[in-house]
Structure 1
Amino acid sequence: MSDKPRKQPGPDHPITITATGQRVLVTVAGRVVADTQNALSLREATYPAVQYVPLADVDRSLLERSGTRSYCPYKGDAGYYSITVDGKRTVDAVWEYQEPYDAVAQIKDHVAFYPDRVESITIGN
């Protein structure tokens, strides 16, 4: 049994997940790491929207799981990946919730990228 607090999204902390509806392209050092038409936009409280990309649309050969873990009382336990391109490593640039809580179950099998740890996250075009 976990002693971690578990919270439900609500009026004081809303979370919505919608289809982005546009292409999402993620690059690192000029290399495409993710390219999808199936991203989800997760909007949480007052934070900027986060693009969750299907893991199937990510070049997994560039990812290496790290030992870093974090916890969100609304989404669950997160694991991280580092990205290596041409010998350069970007540590913990990607996160995922392998078993997200029911309120955000749509993000299962999706990953998100820290904008300041990748070259670009482009939406559209």
Structure 2
Amino acid sequence: MKAVVGDTVIAQAPQEDLIQIEGNWYFPPSSVNQALLEKSPTPYTCPWKGECQYFTVDVAGQRLQDRAWSYPEPYPTAFDRVGKDFSNYVAFWKEVKVVD
């Protein structure tokens, strides 16, 4: 699967390496082109996953604020709910499309 903006691939991994949480596909950190992500100061804490790190996706000068996020240190109880460790896995939103 791929996370793309236009023709630019931001992340790519086999579906079996991704984790689906609440309808969003989370990509393993090693599959993400970190050069296209910039940490965002936007704060958010999920009541069951923990503190979130948002990212601005920057593709060819198009800056998409808070369109990617991860959980660097999820709550330990979240692992039980999800079924595996998803620390630093990255999910995408809106203009970043996840496709086969």
Which bin holds the TM-score, normalised by the shorter protein? 0.7 to 0.9
Cα RMSD, aligned residues only: 1.2
What is residue 33 of structure 1 aligned with on the other side? Answer: 10
**Residue 55 (structure 1) aligned to one of 29, 50, 53:** 29
Structure 1, unpaired ranges of 5+:
1-23, 44-48
Structure 2, unpaired ranges of 5+:
80-84
Q: Partners of 2:18 and 2:27 in 1: how far apart? A: 5
Shift of the alpha carbon at 1:69? 1.5
What is residue 87 of structure 2 aligned with on the other side? Answer: 108
Percent of paired sites with the same residue: 31
Asked which structure has the greater CA Rg, the reply is 1
Amino acid at match of 1:113: F
Name segments (4+ residues, structure 1) moved above 2 Å.
Answer: none
Kept in 2, the 8 Å contact 1:83–1:91? The answer is yes
What is residue 82 of structure 2 aligned with on the other side? Answer: none
| CA-to-aligned-CA distance 1:77-121 (integer Å, 9 cap, x gap) | 10110111111111111011111011223111201111x131x21
Amino acid at match of 1:109: N
Shift of the alpha carbon at 1:36? 0.6
- Structure 1 segment 73-88 matched on structure 2, within 5 A: 73-88=47-62
Aligned length: 93
Instruction: State TM-score, norm by structure 2.
Output: 0.86
Instruction: State TM-score, norm by structure 1.
Output: 0.70
